[in-house]
Amino acid sequence: NAGVTQTPKFQVLKTGQSMTLQCAQDMNHNSMYWYRQDPGMGLRLIYYSASEGTTDKGEVPNGYNVSRLNKREFSLRLESAAPSQTSVYFCASSGSSGRRDEQFFGPGTRLTVL
């Protein structure tokens, strides 16, 4: 039982390049989330998926797109990377969209945009 896994762990991009961050969970969770973590700002929600087939914007969605490929996988895409997107990205999942449910976090992807 691996929990929440993310790939890659590290990535360096040039401005304007695109990439997709992958996330998978093996806990049969319905809800999945993408956050970014920046120094002094805590974690901020980018997008989330309350259930398979649905996605919604979070606090900072601009410059990102997401795909809920199936119940297990939730990917985050940067179409044209910008230096402001340099951050650590965390994927999380929870059993349902109810607020009682604990969110389980992956180990993160450290992205640098030059």
Residues in contact with another protein by CB under 8 A are: 4, 31, 33, 40-45, 48, 50, 58-59, 90, 92, 94, 96-108
Locate 45 and state its tokens. 């929600």
Q: Considering beta carbons, is residue 13 or 46 the nearer one to another protein?
A: 46
Closest CB 44 distance from another protein, rounded Å? 7
2 neighbors 17 (Cβ within 8 angstroms): no
What is the C-alpha to C-alpha distance for residues 56 and 51, in angstroms, rounded to an integer? 10
CB of 99 to another protein, least distance (A): 4
> 14 or 100, CB closer to another protein?
100
How far apart, in whole angstroms, are the C-alpha atoms of residue 25 and residue 13?
26
Residue among 19, 21, 1 at smallest CA distance from 108 = 21
| Rounded least distance, CB 114 to another protein, Å | 22
